[in-house]
């Protein structure tokens, strides 16, 4: 039986009525995305139609999911909200703080020892406030959510950008910052600009070497890392219904890499099969009763150009396996072109490591297809040329693949099975030799491949592919190997060809696990004590940010003018810094240390205008804070791309940065800045970015008249006394300006709780 079946049945009870009312208001057939949006309005039954990409709308999500790295800050904020229990079903998943190094057993034991204080904190807070807790080793948040909580037609938010994975089960699942999660956990509305809609029609059917991962790798190449910003991507067509539920999840998961708000698929037989296989026949039965409302109206998919803002068509029968990268997930190369591209770009052809698994590709089907290739190593007398690792997505998957012999198959080719955790995908990989910073190539089935992300080495070129392609490339050890056409030389000197991968969509014997790793919260949390040591290096209770003094910001200094790509990994690195995710002061020492300074093309080296000396970015900002000098950050396009981590907004806020001025923002980061009481601004004229000089002083001359829709005027005073007046746009509405005035959105929640 499913968790929260009563909540799911309640959603379905009003679904038909709300969808019909929305259809009347909009005056046309509805997409699936619109049905879910309109059936989850904070007001309940819809009373008006909304304009895509324009109207801010209040929603009522069904549930919240938090991973341990972001949950620390989210729950520290929730403790300030004055609530005795979360208002909606909420879970915490311990998956980010387990470093991959030796093997699953060793690494998990070390993590429990090193991060025991954090795990105990999360466990006790969950116990106290009615939150379901998934212990270290239980699995990666998105895989566990898909197996236990996702349901067709639901709306969920999660404090991780890959929350969108649950779209594989027909949800609208959206990544947010911790402050957004606190709103919903506190029983308040969640605000989102009504998204635009991108429809992707999948014709034909996947076969042979081509996998669901290749669909999103192709889409990323078409839309780029910002092409989905402000939009929901809805997949449909015969190719979609022919695909497994977990394959759909993989596609939705990597939708975060095109900046999409979320991605989803209509309810179909594959979702029914998956629900039943994961022990939720009650959800499948309930969904089948309202199935007509869990997909778009027939007219929509028949004539998609009339209903979506953009339509892309991909013929799966013609789709070729892809590898995307290096250094960005949207550089898409068909495998037949990879050798040519690698030689042209001087990418190292020798593959050092192949890694499969992670939240993106760790389903039973993924592992089974990879194992079918691993088995051929012995059968064809081959030898695996690269190191090979597997990261199972959950204890349920791990236990099941061990029972069905796949781990034994991997053992025979010398593979390492890491813990059921994020591991190398998020930089939690203690890779031997990475500190030498040698230029090398790895291939993986993860979702992101930004510089330094996997192993901290800026010279590691990481390429993203399907688990089966990664396995084949690891066996070959050659980036230019095309398993569709090329042969390998086995240990007898014979030419052999790898057979196409095969594998069951779901385990024939069903899923199983001795201990999935779930801890239910206390019935009465009032007696639970949450203790945070004042001397802890890992956890720190929060102090409210100061409200705006309602004056213009004058005499601000330029902290950094970031050049080129500046993701949340550049703003607040993961890897070893994850251990400080619950301690705002300590983690602020990584603020913007990965950003490239436009004036000297160096990282973590900016000019301190008080002394004239160059120093680390956090050190310079701490000097400004100590002197009471405000500062701003300037950036390029898609600033804040990547993870949902709100630390990238909280750190500059904590250290005294007042505003971030960029050419464009990634959606989640812009919201995070607003929630923390900062100014998130964009150049009215992008060319003004070039006018900003290293020694500039900035005056916000009309901030006192900060209102929705009205640009702000910024005066940049240069070292020679000359000035440039720059207009800065913003997207704040009245309530968001209220966050700025109060000092943060949380300050308003806490004030409301005391009223």
685: left (phi over 0), alpha (psi -120 to 50) or beta: beta
pLDDT for the residue numbered 753: 65
Output DSSP code: residue 135.
-
Q: In sequence order, what are the residues at sequence separation of 6 or more whose Cβ sits closer than 8 angstroms to the Cβ of residue 355?
A: 388, 389, 390, 391, 424, 442, 443, 444, 445, 446, 454, 470
State how far the Cα of 142 lies from the Cα of 149, in Å rounded to an integer: 10
283 within 8 A of 473, measured Cβ to Cβ: no
- Residues with catalytic annotation? 95-96, 160, 448, 643, 645
582 within 8 A of 72, measured Cβ to Cβ: yes
pLDDT for the residue numbered 679: 98
pLDDT for the residue numbered 642: 82
Closest C-alpha to 358, from 492, 504, 539, 162: 162
Which tokens hold the place of 322? 């892809």
> Which helix (H) or strand (E) is 729 found in, with range?
strand 723-729
- pLDDT, averaged per 10 consecutive residues of the chain (755 residues), comes to 90 98 98 98 97 96 96 92 93 96 96 95 96 98 98 97 97 93 94 96 97 98 93 98 98 96 98 98 98 98 98 98 96 98 98 96 97 97 97 97 97 96 94 96 96 94 98 98 97 96 97 96 92 92 94 98 95 88 96 97 97 98 98 97 88 98 94 96 98 98 97 98 97 96 90 67
601: left (phi over 0), alpha (psi -120 to 50) or beta: left
Closest C-alpha to 309, from 108, 125, 34: 34
State how far the Cα of 208 lies from the Cα of 210, in Å rounded to an integer: 6
Q: How many residues does the chain have?
A: 755
pLDDT for the residue numbered 124: 96
Q: Per-residue pLDDT tens for 703-738?
A: 999 999 999 999 999 999 999 999 999 999 999 999
State how far the Cα of 42 lies from the Cα of 187, in Å rounded to an integer: 11
What is the separation of C-alpha 174 from the centre of its chain, rounded to a whole number of angstroms?
Answer: 9
Helix (H, G, I), strand (E, B) or coil at 280: coil
| Other CB atoms within 10 A of residue 69 CB | 27
State how far the Cα of 26 lies from the Cα of 195, in Å rounded to an integer: 15
Instruction: Give the torsion sign (CA, 329, 334, 336, 340).
Output: negative
State how far the Cα of 539 lies from the Cα of 519, in Å rounded to an integer: 22
pLDDT for the residue numbered 481: 98
211 within 8 A of 468, measured Cβ to Cβ: yes
pLDDT for the residue numbered 749: 81
Domains observed in the chain: 5-315 (3.30.499.10), 322-484 (3.30.499.10), 553-754 (3.20.19.10)
State how far the Cα of 418 lies from the Cα of 240, in Å rounded to an integer: 31
In this structure, are strands 231-236 and 262-265 parallel, antiparallel, or unpaired?
parallel
> Which helix (H) or strand (E) is 669 found in, with range?
helix 667-675
Query: SS3 string of 295-348?
Result: CCCHHHHHCHHHCCCEEEEEECCCCCCEEECCCCCCCEEEHHHHHHHHHHHCCC
Helix (H, G, I), strand (E, B) or coil at 474: helix
State how far the Cα of 453 lies from the Cα of 460, in Å rounded to an integer: 9
Average pLDDT of every residue of the chain: 96
Calculate ∠ Cα 753-37-49, nearest 5°: 100
349 within 8 A of 441, measured Cβ to Cβ: yes
| Other CB atoms within 10 A of residue 48 CB | 11
682 within 8 A of 668, measured Cβ to Cβ: no
In this structure, are strands 310-315 and 196-203 parallel, antiparallel, or unpaired?
parallel
C-alpha distance from residue 665 to each of 225, 239, 417, 447, 598 (Å):
12, 33, 38, 20, 18
State how far the Cα of 450 lies from the Cα of 452, in Å rounded to an integer: 6
Q: In sequence order, what are the residues at sequence separation of 6 or more whose Cβ sits closer than 8 angstroms to the Cβ of residue 595?
A: 560, 562, 563, 566, 570, 571, 603, 617, 635
Residue identified by tokens 């690891």 is 474
Closest C-alpha to 100, from 376, 333, 390, 395: 390
pLDDT for the residue numbered 251: 98
């Amino acid at each position: 039986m499913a968790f929260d079946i009563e909540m799911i049945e309640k959603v379905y009870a009003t679904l038909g009525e709300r969808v019909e009312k929305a259809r009347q208001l909009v005056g046309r057939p509805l997409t699936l995305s619109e049905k879910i949006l309109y059936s989850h309005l904070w007001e309940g039954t819809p009373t008006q139609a909304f304009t895509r990409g324009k109207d801010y709308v209040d929603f009522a999500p069904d549930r919240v999911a938090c991973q341990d790295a972001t949950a620390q800050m989210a729950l520290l904020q929730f403790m300030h909200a004055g609530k005795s229990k979360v208002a909606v079903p909420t879970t915490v998943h311990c998956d980010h703080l387990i470093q991959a190094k030796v093997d699953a057993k060793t690494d998990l034991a070390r993590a429990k020892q090193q991060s025991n204080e954090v795990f105990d904190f999360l466990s006790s807070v969950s116990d106290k406030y009615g939150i379901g807790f998934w212990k270290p080793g239980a699995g990666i948040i998105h895989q566990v959510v898909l197996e236990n909580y996702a349901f067709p037609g639901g709306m969920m938010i999660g404090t991780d950008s890959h929350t969108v994975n649950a779209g594989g089960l027909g949800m609208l699942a959206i990544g947010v910052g911790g402050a957004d999660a606190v709103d919903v956990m506190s029983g308040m509305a969640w605000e989102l600009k009504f998204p635009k809609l991108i429809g992707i029609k999948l014709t034909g059917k996947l076969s042979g070497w081509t996998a669901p991962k290749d669909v999103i790798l192709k889409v990323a190449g078409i839309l780029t890392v910002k092409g989905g910003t402000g939009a929901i991507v809805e997949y449909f067509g015969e190719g979609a219904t022919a695909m497994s539920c977990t394959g759909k999840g993989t596609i939705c998961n990597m939708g975060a890499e095109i900046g999409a708000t979320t991605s989803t698929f209509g309810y179909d037989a594959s979702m029914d099969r998956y629900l039943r296989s994961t022990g939720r026949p009650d959800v499948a039965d309930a969904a089948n009763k309202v199935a007509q409302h869990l997909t778009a109206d027939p007219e929509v998919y028949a004539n998609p150009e009339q209903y979506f803002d953009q339509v892309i068509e991909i013929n799966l029968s013609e789709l070729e396996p892809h590898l995307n990268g290096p250094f960005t997930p949207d550089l898409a190369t068909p495998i037949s072109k990879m050798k040519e591209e690698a030689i042209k770009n001087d990418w190292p052809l020798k593959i050092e490591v192949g890694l499969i698994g992670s939240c993106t590709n760790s389903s039973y089907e993924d592992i089974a297809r990879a194992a079918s290739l691993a088995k051929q190593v012995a059968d064809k007398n081959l030898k695996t040329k690269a190191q090979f690792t597997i990261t199972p997505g959950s204890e349920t998957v791990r236990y099941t693949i061990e029972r069905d012999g796949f781990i034994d198959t991997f053992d025979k080719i010398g593979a390492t099975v890491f813990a059921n955790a994020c591991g190398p995908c998020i930089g939690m990989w203690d890779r031997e030799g990475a500190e030498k910073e040698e230029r090398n190539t790895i291939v993986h089935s993860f979702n992101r491949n930004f510089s330094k992300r996997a192993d901290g080495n800026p010279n590691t070129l990481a390429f993203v592919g399907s688990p089966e392609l990664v396995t084949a490339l690891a066996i070959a050890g050659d980036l230019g190997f095309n398993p569709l056409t090329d042969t390998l030389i086995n240990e007898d000197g014979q030419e052999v060809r790898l057979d196409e991968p095969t594998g069951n969509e779901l385990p024939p014997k069903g899923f199983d696990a001795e201990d999935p790793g779930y801890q239910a919260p206390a019935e009465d949390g009032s007696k639970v004590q949450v203790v945070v040591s004042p001397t802890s290096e890992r956890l720190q209770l929060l102090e409210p940010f100061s409200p705006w003094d309602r004056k213009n910001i004058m005499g601000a200094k330029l902290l950094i003018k970031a050049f080129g790509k500046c993701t949340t990994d550049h703003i607040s690195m993961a890897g070893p810094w994850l251990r400080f995710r619950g301690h705002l002061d300590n983690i602020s020492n990584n603020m913007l240390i990965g950003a490239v300074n436009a004036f000297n093309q160096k990282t973590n080296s900016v000019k301190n205008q008080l002394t004239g000396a160059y120093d680390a970015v956090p050190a310079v900002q701490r000097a400004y804070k100590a002197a009471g000098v405000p500062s701003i950050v300037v950036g390029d396009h898609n600033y804040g791309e990547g993870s949902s981590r709100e630390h990238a907004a909280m750190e500059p806020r904590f250290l005294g940065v007042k505003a971030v001025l960029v050419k464009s923002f990634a959606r989640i980061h812009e919201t995070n800045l607003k929630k923390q009481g900062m100014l998130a601004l964009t150049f009215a004229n992008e060319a003004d970015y070039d006018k900003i000089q290293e020694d500039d002083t900035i005056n916000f001359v009309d901030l006192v008249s900060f209102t929705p829709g009205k640009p702000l005027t910024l005066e940049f005073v240069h070292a020679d006394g000359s000035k440039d007046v720059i207009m800065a746009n913003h997207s704040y509405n009245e309530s968001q300006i209220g966050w700025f005035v109060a000092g943060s959105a949380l300050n308003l929640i806490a004030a409301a709780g005391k009223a």
